[in-house]
Structure 1
Amino acid sequence: MMILRLSAFLCFAGWAWVHYYWEAPYGVLLWQDATYEFAEWLGVSWDEFVGTGADDGWLQTWLSRITWLYVGCTILTLTVRRQSKFQMIALVGGCGLLTVLSYAKYVGAQRQLPMFVEHGGQMLAPVLLVLALKFGARHRVTMVAAMVAMIMTFAGHGCYAIGWWPTPSTFYGMISVSLGVEYETANTMLRTAGVLDFAVCFAIFVPALRIWAAGYATVWGFLTAAARPVAGMSMSLNYWGADQFLHEAVLRAPHFLIPLYLVVLWHGQKSAAPAESAEPSKQPATTSADHAALAIEFTS
């Protein structure tokens, strides 16, 4: 339960920082003709609708207020309990916020399907917490939802890494800067990682391999998240660049915490199974009174 709670908390906290300090990726959905027509329908001029500077105008004002929705969801991940139905409903709404945000990134990436799919772990992080509270962290429904979230993340990442969709230049940059390798080596590493991403997606359905697959996903998910601040931060930057890159790792926490949840879950089930099978069946103890009763019955 604590792993799923931490996963949702870090995901919302990272995106809350993006909304507060930087700019959320909603622009691709809003700066278009339909938005202008909507402003005209409201009887508002374009300048009044979008503003003429920073943090003014109807649109920018309401976009800045979305920050507080993310802050609220971040707090809810810590306070929600099994009896808190309203808070659980609010967290499901937080899933909707993350879905809209992921759709905006999908549209901004020229509608490349893997861009939306690989955000599955983030979108489902609050839902997993709600399912764990509602049914239990060991319930099959929670486990299956976690498997779906993990598959989406690694399948989406694998499509880019293996080259089925154009591999983002940031992938090459992070590997080259972090490991100090040339383009050819980085390209080979990415193609290998892409194959392993899909291998993990299939291996978690094999009982004998699923713990190892989830363990690999935990390590690889952590490394890919940590690669952002490792490659980007520098002593020469203000705050060492933490304000620019640290949140990139924080909001990707579900990429390694959800597989970690599966490792802990399956390891616990594997440890419990031999203990149950090895437990001897308890037979009722025979007392001296039982022997006396048997002797009386025999003689009679």
Structure 2
Amino acid sequence: MFIGRAYQFYFFGAPFREFLWDESFLSPIVEGVFNTPWYDYATSPLVNKWIEFVTKGFSIVLLLGAFISLFWQQITWIKVKKSILGFGIFILILLGICLVKSKRYDPLQFFELSIQFAAIFVLFFSKNSKIANKRRLLFWLRVTIALVFISHGLFAMGLIYVPGHFIDMSISILGTTEAQTKHFLFVFGLLDVVASILIFVPKLYKYAFIYIIVWGIVTALARLVSGFNSDFVLNSFHQFLYLTIYRLPHGLMPLATFMLYKEFEKQPKN
């Protein structure tokens, strides 16, 4: 996930301008504190370069976070790795806030990032990757998964609105009409919501997890498949692979949670 976001930040930027160019929010600071007209600030090439510079700097932090996550147990500098990981979490939270703002303060945009945060928090708050209270961990991981898939489901069902890229991807891959696509999305959106509830039901959680794992991986791969052009292979990977990478936790985190749940069930109960 860190790798995907690092690639995005470096080559495609991040929506930080949603916050930094919000006149109603920042003009009192820009004009009142720095005594700079808002127009000069908003059109300044220097400010724009600084935003790009900071965004690329964030991408390097995220790349370091990816390296640390991969070699968490091998790296013995606890304070260093937790500091970098903590800064990475801050960057992702800031990204989530900007995404929410860009979608008219829709909180579901933030909830969609829950799984992407979850793996990092598990590492950050663990000691040598060993979790003392697995029961509590499993509960919060399931809550996180539910938040993501309920958000997906509500979007897909159109109860709030159907994101345009949901429709575009489905039409591109399935070759359906827009009306057929909306019906397709509604069905799977409903399944997302139902599965999110069933992962808390002891006798049914296995089936719910299987659906969530498969669907999470499929929807991540859909980003690459829908945009892939065999005539421009490298460009297709450049444009769309990072979207798949940072969404793979939507399938891999439920898989890890399911495996942890099975391991927990095998342990003798006190």
Q: TM-score, normalised by structure 1?
A: 0.78
Structure 2 counterpart of 1:291: none
TM-fit CA distance, 1:252: 0.7
Q: Does 1:226 align with 2:218?
A: no
| 2:179 counterpart (181, 184, 187) | 184
What is the aligned partner in structure 2 of residue 14 from structure 1?
A: 4
Give the gaps of 5 or more residues in structure 2.
none
Distance 1:202 1:77, change over 3 A: same
Quote the residue 1:72 is aligned against.
Answer: 64
Go from structure 1 to structure 2 and tell me whether the alpha carbon gap of 1:177 and 1:138 turns closer, same or farther (over 3 Å shift): farther
* Local SS of the residue matching 2:202: coil
> Cα deviations across residues 198-227 of structure 1 (Å, max 9, x unaligned)?
111111111111122111111000011111
Distance 1:169 1:49 in 2: 29
Give, as a single letter, the amino acid of the residue that structure 2 aligns with 1:29.
F
Q: 1:118 aligns with which of 112, 117, 132?
A: 112
Q: Is the 8 A contact 1:25 1:105 kept in 2?
A: yes
CA RMSD of aligned residues (A): 2.6
Task: Mark the runs of 5 or more structure 1 residues left unpaired by the alignment.
Answer: 1-10, 278-300
Residues 1-300 of structure 1 mapped to structure 2, 5 A cutoff: 11-33=1-23, 34-40=25-31, 41-42=33-34, 51-52=44-45, 56=49, 58-81=50-73, 84-86=77-79, 87-132=81-126, 133=128, 135-136=130-131, 139-237=134-232, 239-270=234-265, 272=266
Residue 193 of structure 1 deviates from its aligned partner by 0.9
> What residue is the counterpart of 1:294 in the other structure?
none
C-alpha contact (below 8 Å) 2:13/2:52 kept by paired residues:
no
**Is the 1:18–1:24 contact (alpha carbons within 8 Å) kept by the matching residues of 2?**
yes
- Preserved contact between residue 117 and residue 156 of structure 1 (Cα < 8 Å): yes
Shift of 1:39: 3.8
**Are 2:13 and 2:55, in contact at CA under 8 Å, matched by a contact in 1?**
no
CA 1:203–1:83 in 2, change beyond 3 Å: closer, same or farther?
Answer: farther
Give the letter for the 1:161 counterpart: A
Task: Tell me by how many angstroms 1:138 deviates.
Answer: 7.5
Against the structure 1 CA distance between its residues 75 and 247, is the aligned structure 2 distance closer, same or farther, given a 3 Å change threshold? Answer: same
TM-score, normalization by structure 2: 0.86
Question: Offset at 1:141?
Answer: 2.9
Kindly provide the CA deviation profile for residues 156-197 of structure 1, in whole angstroms up to 9, marking residues without a partner as x. 111101111110111111111112222222111111111111
Aligned partners of 1:138 and 1:265 also within 8 Å = no
Q: CA deviation at 1:102?
A: 1.0
> Displacement of 1:245 after TM fit?
0.6
Deviation, structure 1 residue 150: 0.6
In 2, the alpha carbon distance for the partners of 1:96 and 1:53 equals 25
One-letter amino acid of the counterpart of residue 253, structure 2? I
Task: Spell out, residue by residue over 1:234-268, the C-alpha distance to the aligned partner (whole angstroms, 9 max, x if none).
Answer: 02336141111110000112111111012212233
What is the identity, as a one-letter code, of the residue corresponding to 1:72?
L
1:53–1:236: structure 2 CA closer, same or farther, 3 Å change rule?
farther
* Cα distance in structure 2, aligned partners of 1:78 and 1:16: 15
Identical pairs, percent: 24
**Following the alignment from structure 1 to structure 2, what is the Cα–Cα distance between the partners of residues 208 and 84?**
43
Q: Output the CA distance in 2 between the equivalents of 1:25 and 1:137.
A: 37
Q: How far off is 1:131 after superposition? A: 4.1
